[in-house]
Structure 1
């Protein structure tokens, strides 16, 4: 099953969710406003993407918290405040991509059929 770690109000997350629904492929949507990835899930994500690429430095929450002026433990901060993740993060078995990329997702749909 394909997992989408996203935010309900994020256009890229909506596009990814719609992409799979239109093709009749089941997904598991994890709303980053409500739940963080587990430490194990984060470890699998950071095997491909460094933590620095996962935090949404352009997002409202990052700026609202003035994180650009602070020194903090990035992993701990992301796990405690999952809204700070860039979204969507998509996972299909051992493959992970950051952001909506329909070309890669088309390949995933072939595997799911």
Structure 2
């Protein structure tokens, strides 16, 4: 089993995901979004499952700094903004084959590892 984790090292939820899978000796491929942004196609895959709005972390400092609370953006524009500004993403984004999770989703991760 192998999982791909998208996030930033400073994110406590991303660190929790990395620790969760490491403790279970699951091979992980970590993508640091500050070094390499997620591709639009990858984000679109998560958006198809969870919706674009679910990907946006409205509690992030970056969201407030950019004054996005009043923004009325289309889904495509939001996806562009999330590629440009990875700190706006709710993290971590975790992918195991075709299965996806968003944010801290320990119950989902547990299902994946208990199989």
* Pairing of 1:28-67 with structure 2 (within 5 A): 28-67=29-68
- Between the aligned partners of 2:4 and 2:72, the Cα distance in structure 1 is 31
In the alignment, what sits opposite 1:76? 80
In the alignment, what sits opposite 2:22? 21
4+ aligned runs moved over 4 Å, structure 1: none
**SS of residue in 1 equivalent to 2:49:** coil
* 1:101 maps to 2:76: no
Tell me the C-alpha RMSD between the 2 structures: 1.5
| C-alpha deviation, 1:71, in angstroms | 3.7
Alpha-carbon displacement from aligned partner over 1:84-106 (angstroms, at most 9, x marks no partner): 11101111011111112222212
- TM-score norm. by structure 2 comes to 0.87
- TM-score norm. by structure 1 comes to 0.88
Q: Give the gaps of 5 or more residues in structure 2.
A: none
Work out whether residues 32 and 85 of structure 1, in 8 Å CA contact, stay in contact via their aligned partners in 2: no
Alpha-carbon displacement from aligned partner over 1:8-30 (angstroms, at most 9, x marks no partner): 11111111100111111111111
Work out whether residues 7 and 93 of structure 2, in 8 Å CA contact, stay in contact via their aligned partners in 1: yes
Alignment length (residue pairs): 111
Work out whether residues 4 and 27 of structure 1, in 8 Å CA contact, stay in contact via their aligned partners in 2: yes
